[in-house]
Amino acid sequence: MLRLCPSRSTSGHMKGADMVTAHVVDGFVGAEDRYATFASTTYSPDTGYINGYLGLTAAEDKNDDWTVISGSEEGGVTEVWLTRNRFTDDGQDRDVLIGLNRIIWAWSTVDTV
């Protein structure tokens, strides 16, 4: 599974990010429009200054703004092509602007969030 996350332009982390998750299972290419909800930090003396976020999730967006173009999984390599409008008028999405857009990406060996 691949996760792309346009984040807040000033932060570069997943909290508050617009996300898409994509996968290929038995030849079927799937993608889910998601977003990261706000979560409070665990960075404190009580946690030994471990930086994490309580309750940070990849919630499903109410509006699916992504379109699967194609995808494949072969020899341990997953390839997925998706498209989305730069501006969606969806409060759970972030606009893709001309100029700096911070992108965070992650992957997993499983096909679920």
- Collapsing DSSP states into helix, strand and coil, what is residue 94? coil
**Which residues fall within 8 angstroms of residue 88, CB to CB, at 6 or more apart?**
63, 65, 95
Instruction: List pLDDT tens digits, range 51-98.
Output: 777 777 788 999 999 999 999 999 988 999 999 999 999 888 888 888
Instruction: List pLDDT tens digits, range 11-37.
Output: 556 777 888 999 999 999 999 999 887
Tokens representing 33?
């429009």
Specify the residue for token string 């909290």.
Answer: 15
One-letter amino acid at 106 equals A
Query: Which has more pLDDT, 57 or 39?
Result: 57
d(CA 111, CA 113): 7
Strand order in the sheet with 58-60: 58-60, 28-36, 18-25, 2-6, 103-107
